[in-house]
């Protein structure tokens, strides 16, 4: 089966970034494929962050189950999250759209108006893009350009042994919303709550700026493909392992109520994608101090879910464990971009 990881590895081999080449030796901060954003040096003190994400009808959304407003917000939000994941400030966006002739003018106008509203919400400017016709599905691609001081850049590749692993919010709500939308489970009194979480995720852009200002935050990324999948990526980039206490994964009361079991809810949440919380590692001795600072600034908690280590048994990068019963926990596969079962 075609996989995103195979494609990325192939591109990595074909287009390596050589920072010691004559063209690139002016900066050690140039970064290509493999993190939430590409980095292009601006000067000795700051760099540009660039990310692009595509939304494809019937892969990322179902047209008759999403409004123009919801689609516009999500298209912008998922790109802003990539900038936040590296600690940067978003500035500009470009949008390209392939639209079907069956779309009504009213829908298109609503979509464009809400792109504008979402851009204003995140204080970014639309600079351009392209529109073309599509015979089948709608395709929306947004490229975002941000900026960051070089000393504040947060990579996936700098996590260290014994760093605490933390997240900024609840997991699993978006996945349950998607399962409701796809008809995998029957709607109930809380289905609208979960569907809204899927279509309108909270983006931690201000929190990302705050996290990046702390030099004891060693690595960071957003949770877009699921905690299990994304933490594996972070571990591979940093060449370390991780142990997660399944009991510490933060979930909403509504998710626990749906499963009527905390452990089932947390196990489900560990594989859920598109929550867009920030996943980060922090030096152990600074965790309690930072947790208090974060709460004082945002009136929100961060959650200690585990610890980085040098190596796990059988070379497994990420181990999920129920530390109360001292048992390993198997986590279902996270989101895969090249499946047809969505």
For residue 45, is it within any domain? Answer: yes
Query: Given this model, what pLDDT does residue 96 score?
Result: 96
Mean pLDDT of 245-267: 97
Residue where a domain stops, chosen among 152, 179, 204: 152
- Do 193 and 111 have their domain in common? no
> Is 0.85 topped by the overall pTM?
yes
Domain count, the chain: 2
Which helix (H) or strand (E) segment holds residue 77: the answer is helix 68-85
- Do 240 and 216 have their domain in common? yes
Per-residue tokens: 162 = 């014994």
11 pLDDT exceeds 80? no
Closest CA to 175 of 277, 262, 98, 106: 277
For residue 157, is it within any domain? Answer: no
Contacts of 120 (CB under 8 A, 6+ apart): none
Query: Given this model, what pLDDT does residue 145 score?
Result: 97
Residue where a domain stops, chosen among 152, 182, 212: 152
- Do 193 and 315 have their domain in common? yes
Query: Given this model, what pLDDT does residue 20 score?
Result: 38
- Find the CATH number of the domain harbouring 203: 3.90.650.10
Q: Mind listing the pLDDT tens digit for each residue in 49-97?
A: 999 999 999 888 999 999 999 999 999 999 999 999 999 999 999 999 9
Only one residue has tokens 């933390």, namely 166
For residue 82, is it within any domain? Answer: yes
Provide the 10 A C-beta neighbour count for residue 113: 13
- Find the CATH number of the domain harbouring 71: 3.30.1330.10
Mean pLDDT of 305-330: 86
Query: Given this model, what pLDDT does residue 14 score?
Result: 62
Report the SS3 class of residue 195: helix
The residues with which 320 forms a beta bridge, in sequence order, are 244
- The helix-helix angle for 287-298 and 205-212 (nearest 10°) equals 140
For residue 295, is it within any domain? Answer: yes
Query: Given this model, what pLDDT does residue 314 score?
Result: 60
- Do 170 and 240 have their domain in common? yes
Pairing of strands 164-167, 303-309: antiparallel
- Do 115 and 246 have their domain in common? no
- Do 18 and 141 have their domain in common? yes
Residue where a domain stops, chosen among 93, 120, 152: 152
End-to-end CA distance of the chain: 16
pLDDT > 70 in the chain, percent: 85
For residue 323, is it within any domain? Answer: yes
Per-residue tokens: 243 = 């142990």
- Do 183 and 298 have their domain in common? yes
Whole-Å CA distances, 333 to 115, 229, 267, 272, 330: 32, 8, 11, 9, 9
Residue 70 sits in which domain range? 4-152
For residue 286, is it within any domain? Answer: yes
């Amino acid at each position: 089966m075609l996989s995103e990881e195979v494609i990325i590895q192939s591109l990595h081999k074909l287009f390596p970034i050589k920072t010691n080449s004559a063209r690139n030796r002016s900066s050690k901060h140039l970064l290509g494929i493999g993190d939430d954003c590409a980095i292009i040096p601006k000067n000795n003190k700051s760099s540009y962050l660039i990310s692009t994400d595509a939304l494809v009808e019937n892969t990322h959304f179902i047209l008759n189950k999403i409004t123009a407003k919801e689609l516009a917000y999500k298209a912008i939000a998922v790109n802003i999250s990539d900038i936040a994941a590296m600690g940067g400030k978003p500035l500009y966006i470009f949008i390209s759209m392939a639209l079907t002739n069956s779309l009504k003018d009213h829908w298109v106008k609503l979509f464009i108006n809400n792109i504008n509203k979402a851009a204003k919400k995140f204080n970014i400017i639309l600079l351009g893009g392209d529109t073309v016709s599509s015979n089948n599905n709608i395709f929306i691609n947004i490229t975002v350009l941000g900026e960051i001081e070089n000393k504040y850049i947060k990579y996936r590749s700098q996590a260290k042994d014994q760093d605490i692993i933390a997240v900024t919010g609840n997991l699993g709500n978006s996945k349950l919303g998607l399962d409701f939308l796809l008809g995998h489970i029957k709607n109930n009194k809380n289905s609208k709550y979960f569907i809204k979480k899927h279509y309108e995720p909270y983006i931690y852009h201000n929190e990302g700026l705050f996290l990046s200002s702390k030099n004891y935050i060693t690595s960071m990324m957003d949770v877009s493909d699921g905690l299990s999948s994304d933490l594996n990526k972070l571990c591979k980039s940093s060449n370390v392992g991780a142990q997660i206490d399944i009991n510490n994964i933060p979930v909403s009361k509504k998710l626990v109520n749906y499963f009527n079991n905390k452990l089932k809810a947390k196990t489900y949440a560990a594989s859920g994608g598109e929550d867009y919380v920030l996943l980060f590692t922090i030096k152990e001795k600074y965790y309690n101090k930072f947790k208090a600072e974060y709460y004082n600034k945002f009136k929100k908690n961060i959650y200690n879910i585990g610890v980085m280590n040098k190596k796990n048994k059988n070379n497994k990068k990420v181990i999920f464990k129920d530390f109360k019963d001292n048992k390993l926990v198997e986590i279902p596969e996270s989101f895969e971009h090249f499946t047809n079962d969505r």
